[in-house]
Amino acid sequence: AFSLLLSLQGYMIDEHAAMQARWEEASRETIKKTTKPCPSCHVPVEKNGGCMHMKCPQAQCRFEWCWNCGLEWNRTCMGDHWFD
């Protein structure tokens, strides 16, 4: 009975670890979809709603760029795909 309890405990720990891993995988996927690296300094920047106009949050950078093109924000972006 003692060894059964031990293996049951081991099983529960494995299940917990598996759940944790799945959860982490899911949150990584979300981050991948809503963040892109700044084209200038490569820090991950979170997308703000349906707006394609991105601004780097880094004080030393403040690069303004287009989520859609991955380039510096320009007139074409503003006229063509400012919003989703």
54 binds Zn ion (CB under 5 A): no
Burial per residue of 50-66, b for 16 or more beta-carbon CB atoms within 10 angstroms, e otherwise: eebbbebeeeeeebebb
82 binds Zn ion (CB under 5 A): no
Count of residues near Zn ion by CB under 5 A? 11
Task: Give the range of 2-10, 11-19, 21-29, 73-81 binding Zn ion by CB under 5 A.
Answer: 73-81
How many whole angstroms separate alpha carbon 2 and alpha carbon 6? 6
How many whole angstroms separate alpha carbon 84 and alpha carbon 77? 11
Residue with tokens 């996927």: 29
Select the residue interacting with Zn ion from 47, 58, 64, 82 (CB under 5 A). Answer: 58
**CB of 35 vs Zn ion, minimal distance in Å:** 12
41 binds Zn ion (CB under 5 A): yes
69 binds Zn ion (CB under 5 A): yes
**CB of 33 vs Zn ion, minimal distance in Å:** 18
